[in-house]
């Protein structure tokens, strides 16, 4: 791995770390960079992980180094590892108080950092200590809000409750404490682990401040594109298995009163376990709840039959 940096404007740590993985991003990375140049607040470092691009991405990134006065660190990987590893590395290297993910084809709004600061500074010290961070809205390339708005704004709430009890859907823009991100970093069990896995783990112990302002432009994935939204989950079944296992283990009490969610999570956990050829004994050992173990046994048997009938593919 090669590490390339520009001359930093000061030795003071920045308040925000903006993390961008990229792979063959020569068509989009300039727009990401331009959106960073247009920010009203430059109290940030930009951490870019070039995931062994085979196009001109790395040369384009190097060309940015002397154009700006904010710190840029480029991690040039020798082998392609996919976004999960890149985000894991970015979180490890981040030095800002907050970390923000900005994908290689996203744009950040000029006022984004100021707005995050505005909402953060409106909180008491007690509230700040108990929160993981903040989440705002995204808009698509046509200026339309992606997914649903939050039912209240601003609102201190739990990510799990908003998603599963109040039906909040769609891409969002999060700004979380780097210290917490480091404690709940991506587990590298597979080349891809859903980004939401980190969010669920954090929300099992922390609340978040949600507000209805769009601070990021999210380009909707094209049907024939290479966006992660289009990937085949069965190719990364260990990562998806982990996601459902963590949901089951971290939200045992919440799932007791939500039987539909419990059965759904157990079924998906079983599907991705079978796809990964993880046996029933290992699955049962990984589950922490006795009730979950009991319900899981017939689900696993049914799932194995579905795999025998080739309803689902093996990894």
- Rounded to 10°, the helix 259-275/290-308 angle is 50
- Whether the pLDDT of residue 155 is over 90: the answer is yes
* Distance of alpha carbon 251 from alpha carbon 239, whole angstroms: 18
* Distance of alpha carbon 287 from alpha carbon 295, whole angstroms: 11
Asked whether 155 and 211 are in contact (CB, 8 A), the reply is yes
Confidence of residue 219 (pLDDT cuts 50, 70, 90): confident
Residue with tokens 């594109």: 225
Strands (E), the chain: 2-5, 16-22, 44-50, 72-76, 98-101, 107-108, 131-139, 155-157, 172-177, 207-217
Across the chain, mean pLDDT equals 93
The whole-number average pLDDT for the span 90-96 is 97
Percent of the chain with pLDDT over 70: 95
Write the pLDDT tens digit of every residue in 54-81.
999 999 999 999 888 899 999 999 999 9
Percent of the chain with pLDDT over 90: 89
For the chain, domain boundaries: 2-224, 231-308
| pTM of the predicted structure, to 2 decimals | 0.93
Q: DSSP 3-state helix, strand, coil percentages of the chain (rounded to 5)? A: 45, 20, 40
The whole-number average pLDDT for the span 119-127 is 97
Spatial neighbors of 23 by CB under 8 A, at least 6 apart, are 50, 51, 52, 53, 57, 80, 104
Give the closest residue to 169 by CA, choosing from 133, 198, 213, 137: 137
Write the pLDDT tens digit of every residue in 4-20.
998 665 567 899 999 99
- Rounded to 10°, the helix 29-37/57-64 angle is 20
Write the DSSP string, 83-124. Answer: HHHHHHHHHHH--SSEEEE--TT-EE-TTHHHHHHHHHHTS-
Pick the CATH number of 2-224 from 3.40.50.300, 3.40.50.720, 3.40.50.2300, 3.90.550.10: 3.90.550.10
The token pair at 146 is: 């992606």
Helices and strands: H and E segment counts in the chain: 13, 10
Give the closest residue to 217 by CA, choosing from 313, 110, 306, 315: 110
Spatial neighbors of 173 by CB under 8 A, at least 6 apart, are 100, 112, 135, 136, 137, 138, 214, 215, 216, 218
Spatial neighbors of 24 by CB under 8 A, at least 6 apart, are 53, 54, 55, 57
The whole-number average pLDDT for the span 130-153 is 96
* Distance of alpha carbon 190 from alpha carbon 233, whole angstroms: 11
Q: What is the pLDDT of residue 225?
A: 45
Q: What is the pLDDT of residue 71?
A: 94
Q: Which helix (H) or strand (E) holds 31?
A: helix 29-37
Confidence of residue 222 (pLDDT cuts 50, 70, 90): low
β-pair partners for 108: 216
């Amino acid at each position: 791995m090669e590490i390339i940096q520009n001359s930093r404007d000061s030795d003071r740590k920045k308040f925000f770390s903006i993390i961008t993985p990229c792979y063959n991003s020569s068509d989009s990375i300039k727009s990401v960079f331009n959106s960073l140049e247009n920010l009203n607040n430059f109290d940030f470092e930009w951490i870019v992980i070039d995931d062994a691009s085979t196009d001109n991405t790395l040369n384009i990134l190097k060309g940015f180094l002397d154009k700006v006065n904010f710190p840029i660190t480029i991690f040039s990987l020798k082998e392609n590892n996919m976004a999960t590893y890149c985000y894991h590395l970015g979180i490890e290297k981040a030095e800002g108080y907050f970390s923000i993910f900005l994908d290689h084809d996203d744009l950040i709004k000029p006022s984004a950092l100021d707005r995050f600061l505005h909402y953060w500074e409106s909180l008491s010290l007690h509230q700040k200590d108990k929160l993981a961070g903040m989440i705002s809205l995204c808009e698509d390339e046509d200026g339309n809000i992606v997914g649903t708005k939050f039912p209240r704004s601003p609102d201190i709430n739990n990510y799990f409750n908003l998603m599963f009890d109040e039906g909040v859907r769609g891409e969002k823009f999060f700004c979380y404490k780097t210290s917490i991100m480091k404690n709940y970093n991506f587990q590298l069990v597979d080349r891809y682990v859903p980004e939401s896995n980190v969010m669920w783990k954090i929300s099992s112990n922390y609340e978040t401040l949600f507000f209805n302002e769009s601070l990021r432009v999210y380009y909707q994935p094209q049907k024939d594109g290479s966006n992660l939204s289009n990937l085949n989950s069965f190719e990364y079944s260990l990562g998806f298995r982990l996601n459902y296992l963590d949901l089951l283990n971290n939200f045992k009490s919440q799932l007791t009163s939500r039987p539909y969610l419990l059965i759904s999570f157990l079924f998906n956990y079983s599907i991705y376990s079978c796809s990964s050829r993880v046996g029933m004994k290992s699955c049962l050992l990984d589950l922490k709840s006795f009730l979950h173990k009991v319900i899981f046994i017939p689900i696993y048997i049914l799932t194995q039959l579905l795999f025998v009938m080739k309803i689902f593919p093996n990894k």
